[in-house]
Amino acid sequence: MTNLSKMAFELDSSALANLVRTVDPLKKTLIVDCRSFFDYNVSHIRSAVNAFYSKMMRRRLYDNKHNDVGQMPQYNRTA
């Protein structure tokens, strides 16, 4: 088996459930939920983080209008 700690990949729900059940709890695993913010808020895995960006946000990042993740509304805790 390859070293999964260095890889990012897409999983379907049954594969993710199997992985969550069998992962070593002492290893740090980051689950990134790329669904819309609304879908993420309706339901998500407890430790998952949301990383969905709208087309407008992607365009702003691409155009370098926002070059700091901390300035993005999703990550700004004061907004």
Report the distance separating Cα 39 and Cα 3, nearest Å. 30
pLDDT digits (tens, 9 = 90+) for 17-33: 888 888 777 677 788 88
Domain residue limits, the chain: 4-53
pLDDT digits (tens, 9 = 90+) for 49-78: 888 777 777 677 677 655 555 554 554 444
Say if residues 32 and 44 touch (Cβ distance below 8 Å). Answer: no
pTM: 0.50
Report the distance separating Cα 53 and Cα 25, nearest Å. 29
